[in-house]
Structure 1
Amino acid sequence: MKVEVKQTNDGSNTLFVPELNEHYHSVHGALQEALHVFIKHGLQPTLEQATEPIRLLEIGFGTGLNAILTLQTFLTQNHSVFYDTLEKYPLPEDLIKELHFENFMLNPELLDYFYKLHAAPWNETVAITGNFNLHKTHTDLETQTLPENHYHLIYFDAFAPEKQPHLWTDEIFRKMASALKPGGFLVSYCAKGSFKRSLKAAGLKVEALPGPPGKREMTRATKTN
């Protein structure tokens, strides 16, 4: 797919897909959205209850923003994480450089790690730091088999339901619910009623939480048993 680099309102960059008329992140602030949805309301509560290495699944590696912010968190943690991510359309190296993450990352050290995340080979586990292990799988969620009762946390960061409806079906959410450990979370920027109903139909407990800038709500779902 053809993509274009766009700056969002907090100064961070995202990508725009003309074919879908869709941005990879919120135009109100890519960085703010990722920190609020995935780190604050997903990773932080997962860390608070962690008693073993965290197993995390991201749907849509994209620009690597969620991954680098997760890695940043683990630079100051005694915990370790196995970060699995599924991506059907990996970005080319020249486009990754055009994102100019160095212009809005608060920690310059992160830039080296950012490029390591993207340079890591696909379909194998790579230790990016002593406690951050990355496994990028070049595939799509529909065909990928997920291990049962395996993940403490899922970042569901697919394009919007109206853009990729095949990724927002009851079957997809049953698959992810099965992959979560009891007590595990699924977090998403999306707050649509149909999405919440699918999560509930999959047996998850659903919370509507305050959204990032520009959005009233976001969603967190918990596997209760």
Structure 2
Amino acid sequence: MSRKNSGNQLIETRDGSHTVYSSQFDQHYHNPNGAVAESRYVFFEQTGLPEALSKQKDITILELGFGTGLNLMLLLDYYLSRQSEAHIRYYTIEAFPLKADLVQQFNYEDYLTHPQIARKVIALFDKLQKGLNHFTLLDNIDIYLFNGFFSDFNPDDSIRADYIFHDAFSPDTNPDLWTGKVFETLARHSHPNVMLSTYCAASKVQGAMAWAGWKIAKAQGALGKREMIVASLSDEPLSHLERINEERLARRYKEGDF
């Protein structure tokens, strides 16, 4: 969704870690109660990704909303802490990259076991070109950062995500990234046992996922939020979570009942 970019502001969240307030979308990039704490909980603790780093040889991750780069920093930190040897392919999309001078002020290194990781990711912001950018980090991690809109992102058909970080601005302010068509596209580029996680639990989003063929479960939300969503294309990865009625939600979404 195209809007005039009228500026961003660095904010300290309640756990001390930084986030950014976007006047363009009138939202914070992270939960004001804790940027690092929220990202760890939603995209790593709820998906089992840290454990997978110790076991799997190849992992593909697809992220909607590169934002501050925090999720990538945390991934690299877990990677080193687990002494992983996996080959990681990290695809991430960002339509409005942050300015390098703002990113330089982030304090994320204070929250990492391997603080040097933060500088490696922050350095990427100064190298971005329009379109697809390819970077290699830690020798075995390929970053494919698409600077543009999701609708213009045309990944290779061979891409099959094992994990999806759906970390876009909320459906109230950025509805284009929460439609059934978007989740249909994500499904087309995913393994059957993919784990998709998002901080959002809006009923319309659940309906869009269900319409696109996703299996959906609810989990406790992060830092004061009541719920969050974890989804897959198969039942097994969600067996430990509270499932919802996908058929009913898909029907309501198709009928426009949201």
- Check if 1:63 corresponds to 2:68: yes
Distance 1:48 1:92, change over 3 A: closer
Partner of 1:154: 164
Match of 2:101 in 1: 94
**In structure 2, which of residues 214, 217, 225 is the aligned counterpart of residue 215 of structure 1?**
225
Structure 2 match to 1:196:
206
Unaligned segments of structure 1, at least 5 residues? none
Selected match of 1:137 from 130, 146, 161: 146
Whole-Å separation in 2 of the counterparts to 1:205 and 1:146: 23
AA of the residue aligned to 1:133: D
Report the more deviating stretch, 23-32 or 48-57.
48-57
**Counterpart of 2:207 in structure 1: which amino acid?**
R
Supply the distance in 2 between the matched residues of 1:125 and 1:202 (Cα, whole angstroms).
30
SS of the residue corresponding to residue 98 of structure 1 reads coil
> CA RMSD, aligned part only?
2.1
Letter in 2 for 1:36: Y
Matched, 1:113 2:123: no
Match of 2:13? 8
> Is residue 33 from structure 1 mapped to residue 38 from structure 2 by the alignment?
yes
Q: Against the structure 1 CA distance between its residues 222 and 147, is the aligned structure 2 distance closer, same or farther, given a 3 Å change threshold?
A: farther
The match for 2:186 is 176
Q: CA 1:49–1:107 in structure 2 vs 1: closer, same or farther (change >3 Å)?
A: closer
In 2: Cα distance, 1:200 partner to 1:173 partner: 9
Indicate the structure (1 or 2) with the bigger Cα radius of gyration.
2
Mapped to 2, the partners of 1:51 and 1:77 lie a distance apart of 9
Ranges in structure 2 where 5+ consecutive residues have no aligned partner: 236-258
Q: Name the SS of the counterpart of 1:114 in structure 2.
A: helix
Q: Contact 1:125–1:134 (CA<8 Å) still a contact in 2?
A: yes
Q: What does residue range 33-52 of structure 1 map to in structure 2 within 5 Å?
A: 33-42=38-47, 44=49, 47=52, 51-52=56-57
Alpha-carbon separation, structure 1, partners of 2:161 and 2:211: 19
The amino acid across from 1:30 in the alignment is A
1:48, distance to aligned residue in structure 2 (A):
7.0
| 1:131 positional shift | 2.3
- Structure 2 CA distance for aligned equivalents of residues 46 and 116 of structure 1: 28
1:83 partnered with 2:90:
yes
Is 2:196 the partner of 1:205? no
The higher-RCO structure (CA 8 Å, 6+ apart) is: 1
Deviations 1:144-174 (A, max 9, x none): 2244561111110000000111111111111
Q: CA deviation at 1:223?
A: 1.2
| 1:42-77 Cα shifts (integer Å, max 9, x gaps) | 352771796441111111111000010011111121
Is residue 53–residue 84 contact of structure 2 (8 Å, CA) maintained in 1?
no
Q: Could you tell which deviates more after superposition, 163-172 or 47-56?
A: 47-56
Q: What is the percent sequence identity of the aligned residues?
A: 28
Quick one: structure 1 residues 43 and 114, their matched pair in 2 at CA, closer, same or farther if it must change by over 3 Å?
A: farther
1:125–1:202 CA distance, 2 compared to 1 (3 A): same
- Partner AA of 1:80 in structure 2: H
Deviation at 1:127, TM superposition (A): 1.4
Q: Which amino acid aligns with 2:145?
A: K
